[in-house]
Chains A and B, each alone.
Chain A
Amino acid sequence: EVQLGESGGGLVQPGGSLRLSCAASGFTFSSYAMGWVRQAPGKGLEWVSSISGSGVSTYYTDSVKGRFTISRDNSKNTLYLQMNSLRAEDTAVYYCAKGSEKQQLVYDYWGQGTLVTVSS
């Protein structure tokens, strides 16, 4: 059974940093692209970043480029999102998601999310 579990969210002051982790199990982690999608309170979904199975290729939405870094440790079956220079508008539930079997650019399994709150 595929399982994704995010951790690392919490309250942080503007300008601060957080590192989110996503522990994966139930599939061959290194064979699949992974991504982060966020949802601000009461708002819609926003794609944040994605990474190829090997970790070589990474992609970001414009608003986080230069501030967030996606990475993965295939030996630990874990996905990360390092978030620096956090802003109030980064407040959201952050979901990690797995690329699907037939089309790795869409996400067929999602974690339950971790809440990041940026506030003084």
Chain B
Amino acid sequence: EIVLTQSPGTLSLSPGERATLSCRASQSVSSSYLAWYQQKPGQAPRLLIYGASNRATGIPDRFSGSGSGTDFTLTISRLESEDFAVYYCQQYVSSPRTFGQGTKVEIK
């Protein structure tokens, strides 16, 4: 099983600031089979990024993904009020398709 470790656990930032979220895998995630999801309280998750760097339909370009192998990053270039949420990475290169434990982006 591939274990995904996200850091930091909580990120306290102000609107307009840049957010950098990390996801580290216990073994290589080949073909960059890594996705990022956003979840707000009481809501279902929303797909942001797939294939490590491809934005899903309708996702603003302030969201970007990068990385390969075992180290991946989600960057939000300028935080807007609606971006404060919990973010999860997920690998889908092998079963079980594990999620990271999440990073909460909160308003400072």
Interface string of A45-57 (1 = CB under 8 A from B): 1110010000000
Q: Does B45 touch A at the CB level, under 8 Å?
A: yes
Q: Does A120 touch B at the CB level, under 8 Å?
A: no
Q: Are B101 and A95 in contact (CB under 8 A)?
A: no
Q: Are A106 and B47 in contact (CB under 8 A)?
A: yes
Complex CA gap A44/B56 in Å reads 21
- The residue on B at minimum CB distance from A4 is B44
- Counting residue pairs across A and B whose Cβ atoms lie within 8 Å, the total is 60
Q: Are B54 and A45 in contact (CB under 8 A)?
A: no
Q: Does B50 touch A at the CB level, under 8 Å?
A: yes
Q: Are B96 and A47 in contact (CB under 8 A)?
A: yes
Q: Residues of B contacting A50 with CB < 8 Å? A: 97
How many residues does chain B have at the interface if contact means C-beta atoms less than 8 Å apart?
26
Q: Are B99 and A102 in contact (CB under 8 A)?
A: no
Q: Chain B: interface secondary structure?
A: loop
Q: Residues of A contacting B73 with CB < 8 Å? A: none
* Shortest beta-carbon distance from B38 to chain A in Å: 11
Complex CA gap A46/B92 in Å reads 13
* Shortest beta-carbon distance from B90 to chain A in Å: 7
B interface residues (Cβ-Cβ under 8 A, vs A): 1, 33, 35, 37, 39, 44-47, 50-51, 54, 56-57, 86, 88, 90, 92, 95-102
Beyond known contacts A45-B88, A103-B92, A106-B47: 17 more, CB 8 A cutoff: A44-B99, A45-B37, A45-B39, A47-B98, A59-B96, A61-B96, A62-B1, A62-B96, A95-B44, A95-B45, A102-B50, A103-B51, A108-B47, A108-B56, A110-B45, A111-B44, A112-B44
